[in-house]
Amino acid sequence: MMPLQSLAAAAPTPDGYLLVLAIILPATAIVALVGLGGRGAAGIVLATLAAQLIIAIRVLSLVWQSGAPVVYVIGGWDPPLGIALRADGISAVMMLTSAVIFSAAAAFAWKDYRPPRWSPETRGSLVFWSALLAMASALNTLFTSADLFNLYVALELLTFAAIPVVSLKGSAETLRAALRYLIFAVFGSMLYLLGIVLLYGAYGTLDVSSLAELIRPNAATLVAAALVTVGLLAKTALFPFHLWLPPAHAGAPAAGSAVLSALVVKGSLFLLMRLWFDTFPSLRDPAAMQILAALGAAAVIVGSVMAIRQARLKLLVAYSTVAQIGYMFFVFTLVPVLPGESWIAASAWTGGWLQIVSHAFAKAAMFLAAGLVAEALGHDRIRDLAGLGKQLPLIVLTFAMSGISLMGLPPSGGFSAKFMLLVAATAEGHWLWATVIIGGGLLAGIYIFGVLARMLAAMPDGTAVAEIGRGRQLITFALAGVALLLGFLPLEPMALLQIGRMP
């Protein structure tokens, strides 16, 4: 395993400008969309996201080859006076995951949001493309920023780019869902901001590497950490803060739902894990970490049971997101303060991040497939999905492949992730969490196989199925394929995910 490296070592690297480009390019493209009156918006967005993908691949390559983070110091002012952008192994993986899924979602949405060439965009189309770029910029800021206030700004940009996508259809149902999302998001933002104000008052800096060295478990710090944590849990939609997620994700357009579920909720989760493992390690009381794991376990059970009870396919997939998020919180109790010293702990760390990435691809594919089902049939009622296996076999296969990963069956990224978490839980004596991991897979099997059984049933006479283009089916199939291919990674700690971590 590669040695861990201090966050404080933030010397600029020659290719650090790539991190700036990853943030600035989408923001500049938004300005271009407005300046051109929305003409050619789809082409501009696809070109920008293609450039994002190239940048993400390059950053990952640099981190892997050098074994050290890529760093850029803004304005030449070193932290804590200045602000640094920093991409370690985890950041590089998340940047690439984000770039791939954004590109796939944009290509999928091309048919729905591309007007005739160089004609003015409709309002909905311009909002969608602008929001997509804003979310891409915000996520790259979250993945690379090392300043708590910068991270707050990125969280707000991400939220206020996601909410218009939720309400894009303009129906009363989607407007209510967007308003509920807004209420939870503002609540979370207020708590997060209050927490970092307390930290600044106590330590005089918001640079995460400086805080990691200064922070002490006193009353003010513990209150600040609790406020920041609860605020981020609300944005991540962990049980019991999950009430906003199912209606918001189910009501958005298919491409929007894919991005929201695969990436947007992962932004706040990424920050939560970054803070507790890299900035607050001295505050990690085992009892407090058990509370986070217990909330994760409750999310797995409640989300799965609610998914089983749904009558609509998109709502089922949305509640599945609530359940799958829960698995990621077992990492907080399975990885001790010094994860690099234990093979089991490092395996749990790898399993947690592999769960995040594999879920992103599987859930993006599943939401896009659900969107195509609704387009083909004119509805997404589960009881009326009979005949899809014959009429749209590739979509059904895509849903099945995504479901394999969500259930944790081999070969899939979901299996590898849950297996490593399960091994860590049993080795460390956490039998309750091990039981939940196994039980969650069984519950996922109930709602996945329930849908597949409907899809593979004979189609009733007189059922009309609209023609679906092969290109968009292949996009969804490719995303599900990535979720399965991740299962062929070795079942051992990944050195890449250790690069640049705090010792």
Q: Which long-range contacts (CB under 8 A, 24 or more apart) does 201-208 make?
A: 205/79, 205/80, 206/80, 206/147, 206/148, 206/149, 207/79, 207/80, 207/83, 207/84, 207/146, 207/147, 207/148, 208/7, 208/146, 208/147, 208/148, 208/274, 208/275, 208/278, 208/279
Decide if pLDDT at 34 tops 90.
no
CA nearest neighbour of 63 among 23, 20, 106, 19: 19
Confidence of residue 205 (pLDDT cuts 50, 70, 90): confident
**Cα–Cα distance for residue pair 368/110, rounded to 1 Å:** 13
pLDDT at res. 120: 60
Please state, in angstroms and rounded to a whole number, the distance separating the CA atoms of residues 99 and 22.
10
More confident: 440 or 79:
440
pLDDT of residue 337: 59
Check if the beta carbon of residue 460 is closer than 8 Å to that of residue 365. Answer: no
Q: How many CB atoms lie within 10 A of CB 172?
A: 7
Position 341 scores a pLDDT of: 52
Tokens representing residue 393 in the block:
């076999």
Q: Quick one: pLDDT at residue 222? A: 92
> Does the pLDDT at position 488 exceed 80?
yes
Name the residue ranges covered by the structural domains of the chain: 13-146, 147-283, 303-497
DSSP per-residue string spanning 8-71: T-----TTTHHHHHHHHHHHHHHHHHHHTTTTTHHHHHHHHHHHHHHHHHHHHHHHHHHSS-EE
The letter for the amino acid at 78 is D
Q: What is the mean pLDDT of the chain?
A: 88
Instruction: Supply the pLDDT for residue 10.
Output: 58
CA 134 to chain centre: 15
Q: What percent of the chain has pLDDT over 70?
A: 93
Closest CA to 136 of 22, 266, 41: 22
Neighbours of 392 (CB within 10 A): 23
> What's the mean pLDDT in 155-175?
89
Specify whether the CB–CB gap between 278 and 213 falls below 8 A: no
| The pLDDT of residue 463 | 66
Contact partners, residue 313, CB within 8 Å, separation at least 6:
370, 373, 374, 380, 381, 382, 385, 451
| Predicted pLDDT at 462 | 60
**Regarding predicted confidence, which is higher, 337 or 409?**
409
pLDDT (0 to 100) of residue 122: 66
Lowest mean pLDDT among 2-6, 9-13, 61-65: 2-6
Of 351 and 169, more confident: 351
Rounded Cα distance between 68 and 141, Å, is: 19
Q: Check whether 361 has a pLDDT greater than 90.
A: yes
- pLDDT at residue 2 greater than cutoff 80: no
CA nearest to 484, candidates 397, 420, 402, 367:
402
Say which DSSP state 121 is in: P
Neighbours of 217 (CB within 10 A): 12
**pLDDT confidence of residue 502:** 56
Confidence of residue 210 (pLDDT cuts 50, 70, 90): confident
Residue 194 pLDDT > 90, yes or no? yes
Q: Residue 418: pLDDT above 70?
A: yes
pLDDT recorded at residue 83:
81
State the pLDDT at residue 6.
40
Q: What's the Cα-to-Cα distance from 501 to each of 87, 88, 232, 334, rounded to whole Å?
A: 11, 7, 21, 17
281: tokens are 């390690």
Q: What is the C-alpha to C-alpha distance for residues 433 and 104, in angstroms, rounded to an integer?
A: 34
Helices (H) and strands (E) in the chain, counts: 20, 2
Sequence-distant (6+) residues with CB within 8 A of 269 are 232, 236, 325, 328, 356
Q: Classify 73 as helix, strand or coil.
A: strand
Q: What is the mean pLDDT of residues 270-295?
A: 89
Rounded Cα–Cα distance for residues 456 and 459 (Å): 9
Map tokens 């990621």 to a residue. 328
- The 10s digit of each residue's pLDDT in 403-417 is 999 999 999 999 999
Instruction: Determine how β-strand 84-87 pairs with β-strand 70-73.
Output: antiparallel
Quick check: helix, strand or coil at residue 133?
Answer: helix
Confidence label for 376 from pLDDT (cuts 50, 70 and 90): confident
Q: Tokens 């060439």 — which residue?
A: 117
Higher pLDDT among residues 398 and 81, named by residue:
398
